Every structure is written in structure tokens, then in C-alpha cells.
């Protein structure tokens, strides 16, 4: 999946080079993607342009006017690298792009929550522009943000995650009093933002759900612990540390929770192999799952 080639191309496609004024180009790319995998076009576009993920969601992206954020660029297919690729897909270049920031208005209660949070942070002496990196609205195929499947994600700078949580929990107009935990995601190709911690908050009072996403680079995998605000995150942060190696500073006891204490490595990271042995049946062998061909 990852080789030096990928890494080199990734450098040309860092998120900040993707600007919102390329929306027209985006749409053209998306329309093509919607008609199937337009291999030639993708190859011609090159890796630097924001394409869509396979089977992209043009309708969603058009509606929220969002642009995409390239997190990885893949070449070829079937996981073949280095050797002769007889599949005919060797020239395929496919950028992996996640939904980028959404423009205002976000719709539904989303605007209000972001406004109130901005205000509360400013009152508390935190620069809201520095704290909230971007706001992403995922419509998930719905027509508007009013639909139950629409989701709001706030990307929060890691040094400000505790004051943001505090504001979200305590302000009477926000009142996200219940935290459902933390999960980690590892994007090895998103240079400088490899590790993501995702917090899932619920406001029982207002019946709202919100997601916070905090990133940390691989070289400095530190994020302040939110256990002082949400004690429920205690075990969830331990789990995220155990599986991803994200160190939650000021956690009361950041020990491994699922893996044995003396385990080496963090198993859910993408550079950690799944493992497994080939299974033999009547002379033929089936390779372990992580060495089988990949279609993505």
C-alpha cells in the first residue's frame, strides 16, 4: 500500500495546496467520478489535483460547497508494487480525499453551536480561530443538515482541546454533558497530522450530537487529556494510547488496557501488520488476509 512513490507524490498534494476556489474543477472531477472510474482522466489530472474518492458524493459536496482534502495518493491496483503489473491498472493514480471544511451556513443547529462556542471561547480568553481549525458538515446523502444522518465535526487544535471541551460541557446553550468516548484513526500519509483522536459528545439536554477531531504528528504524539472534563474518557484514552500510541498528557494513569503491559507497538496503527499464517488446503495455500490483493 505504501511505498516511497506514494510518499513523494503526497508531498505535492498536501491539504493546504488545495484551495476552495478550485470548486469548479472539483465539480468537473466529481461528475466524471460519478460515472465510474475514469481512469484516463484521473491519470491526466495527476496527483496534485483534488479528485474524488471512488464513487464520490458529488451531490453532498456540491450542496455544502465543500472541497476535498487529499490525505493519500495511491497508484495501481490490487496492491501490486515494484513488480510487473499485468492487470493493466498500473498507471492508475487515485487520490484519497476526505471531506474538507464546509462553508457557512452549516444548517440546522450547527451554526448556533459554533457561534456560541466561539463566543464562550473568546470570553474565556481563548482565540476561537486558533482553537477551531475547521468545521466539517457531513450530510451523508441527505438534502439538508436537518436530516438525522447529518453530522457536525469540529477540528480542534490539540493545545485547546480541554478548554473547548469545558465550554461544550458547561455552557447552558451547548451542554454536551455526556462523552461517549474517544477513538483513534491513523493516517500515515497525512504528514504532520498522522494521528487523529475523535471525541463523540452528546447533549442530552438539547438532543444533539457532535464530534471533535484532534490531530497530532507522529513525531510528537501528545494530546492533552480530557479526563478532567469528561472522566468517562479515562478508559477510552487508555485504549487509544494502547492502539495508536497517542500520549494523553495529564491522564491519571495512562497504561495499556487491552494489550499486555509489556507489549511492543501499537496494533491499530496502519504500519502494524495484521499478522496471520497461510492456510493450506489440498496443496493450495490461501495467504493471510493482510497479504491478499487489495482493491482500494
Partner 1 sequence: MTATAEHPAGSAGASGGPARATRPIDDETARAIRGFEAYGDGDWDEITREAIGEERIVVNMGPQHPSTHGVLRLMLEIDGETVTEARAGIGYLHTGIEKNMEFRTWTQGPTFCTRMDYVAPFFQEVAFCLATERLLGITDDVPERASVIRVLMMELNRISSHLIAIGTGGNEMGATTVMTIAFTAREEILRLFEAVTGLRMNHAYIRPGGVAVDVPEGFTDQAREALKKVRGYLKDLGDLMLANPIFKSRLTDVGVLNLAGCMALGVTGPVLRSTGLPYDVRKSAPYCGYETYDFDVPVSKNADSYDRVVLRLEECYQSLGIAEQAMSRLDASEGEPVMVADKKIAWPAQLAIGSDGQGNSLEHIRKIMGTSMESLIHHFKLVTEGFPVPAGQAWQTVEHPRGELGVHAVSDGGTRPYRAHFRDPSFNNLQAVSVMCEGGQVADVVVAVASLDPVLGGVDR
Which residues lie near partner 1 (CB under 8 A)? 52-57, 59-60, 68, 71-72, 94, 96-99, 138-142, 147-149, 151, 153, 177-181, 183-186, 198, 200, 202, 204, 207, 209, 211, 230-236, 239, 256-260, 267-268, 274, 289-290, 292, 294-296
> Of the two residues 57 and 126, which places its CB atom closer to partner 1 in the complex?
57
For residue 127, the minimal CB distance to partner 1 (Å) is: 27
For residue 242, the minimal CB distance to partner 1 (Å) is: 9
For residue 168, the minimal CB distance to partner 1 (Å) is: 14
Burial (Cβ within 10 Å: 0-12, 13-18, ≥19) of residue 46? middle
Q: What are residue 223's DSSP bridge partners?
A: 248
> Of the two residues 68 and 168, which places its CB atom closer to partner 1 in the complex?
68
Cβ atoms of 2 and 189 within 8 Å: the answer is: yes
> Of the two residues 122 and 292, which places its CB atom closer to partner 1 in the complex?
292
For residue 230, the minimal CB distance to partner 1 (Å) is: 7
For residue 258, the minimal CB distance to partner 1 (Å) is: 4
Q: What are residue 152's DSSP bridge partners?
A: 137
Residue 185 to residues 9, 72, 123, 267: CA-CA distances in angstroms? Answer: 22, 14, 32, 12
> Of the two residues 132 and 237, which places its CB atom closer to partner 1 in the complex?
237
> Of the two residues 107 and 128, which places its CB atom closer to partner 1 in the complex?
107
Please report the beta strands in 139-286, taking only residues with DSSP state E, as ranges in sequence order: 151-156, 178-186, 195-203, 208-216, 222-224, 247-249, 279-281, 284-286
> Of the two residues 10 and 233, which places its CB atom closer to partner 1 in the complex?
233
Cβ atoms of 96 and 73 within 8 Å: the answer is: yes
For residue 47, the minimal CB distance to partner 1 (Å) is: 15
Cβ atoms of 238 and 251 within 8 Å: the answer is: yes
Four-CA torsion 287, 72, 33, 67, nearest 10 degrees: 150
User: Alpha-carbon distance 121 to 165, whole Å?
Assistant: 10
Burial (Cβ within 10 Å: 0-12, 13-18, ≥19) of residue 234? buried
For residue 142, the minimal CB distance to partner 1 (Å) is: 7
> Of the two residues 64 and 132, which places its CB atom closer to partner 1 in the complex?
64
Amino acid at each position: 500500500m505504501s511505498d516511497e512513490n506514494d510518499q513523494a507524490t503526497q508531498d505535492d498534494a498536501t491539504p493546504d495546496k488545495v484551495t476552495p476556489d478550485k470548486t469548479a474543477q472539483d465539480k468537473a472531477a466529481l461528475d466524471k467520478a460519478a460515472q465510474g472510474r475514469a481512469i484516463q482522466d484521473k491519470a491526466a489530472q495527476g496527483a496534485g489535483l483534488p479528485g474524488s474518492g471512488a464513487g464520490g458524493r458529488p451531490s453532498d459536496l456540491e450542496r455544502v460547497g465543500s472541497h476535498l482534502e487529499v490525505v493519500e495518493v495511491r497508484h495501481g491496483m490490487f496492491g501490486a508494487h515494484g513488480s510487473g503489473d499485468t492487470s493493466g491498472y498500473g498507471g492508475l493514480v487515485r487520490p484519497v480525499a476526505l471531506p474538507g471544511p464546509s462553508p457557512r451556513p452549516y444548517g440546522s443547529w450547527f451554526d448556533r453551536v459554533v457561534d456560541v462556542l466561539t463566543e464562550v471561547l473568546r470570553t474565556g480568553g481563548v482565540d476561537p480561530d486558533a482553537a477551531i481549525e475547521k468545521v466539517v458538515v457531513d450530510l451523508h446523502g441527505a438534502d439538508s443538515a436537518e436530516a438525522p444522518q447529518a453530522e457536525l465535526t469540529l477540528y480542534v487544535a490539540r493545545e485547546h482541546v480541554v478548554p473547548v471541551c469545558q465550554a461544550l460541557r458547561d455552557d447552558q446553550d451547548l451542554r454536551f454533558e455526556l462523552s461517549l468516548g474517544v477513538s483513534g484513526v491513523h493516517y500515515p500519509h497525512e504528514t504532520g497530522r498522522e494521528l487523529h483522536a475523535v471525541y463523540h459528545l452528546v447533549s442530552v439536554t438539547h438532543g444533539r450530537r457532535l464530534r471533535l477531531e484532534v490531530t497530532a504528528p507522529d513525531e510528537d504524539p501528545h494530546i492533552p487529556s480530557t479526563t478532567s472534563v469528561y472522566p468517562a474518557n479515562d478508559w477510552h484514552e487508555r485504549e487509544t494510547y494502547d492502539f495508536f500510541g497517542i500520549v494523553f498528557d495529564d491522564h491519571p494513569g495512562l497504561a495499556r488496557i487491552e494489550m499486555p503491559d509489556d507489549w511492543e507497538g501499537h496494533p491499530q496503527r496502519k504500519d502494524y501488520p495484521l499478522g496471520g499464517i497461510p492456510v493450506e488446503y489440498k496443496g493450495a495455500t490461501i495467504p493471510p488476509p493482510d497479504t491478499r490483493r487489495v482493491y482500494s
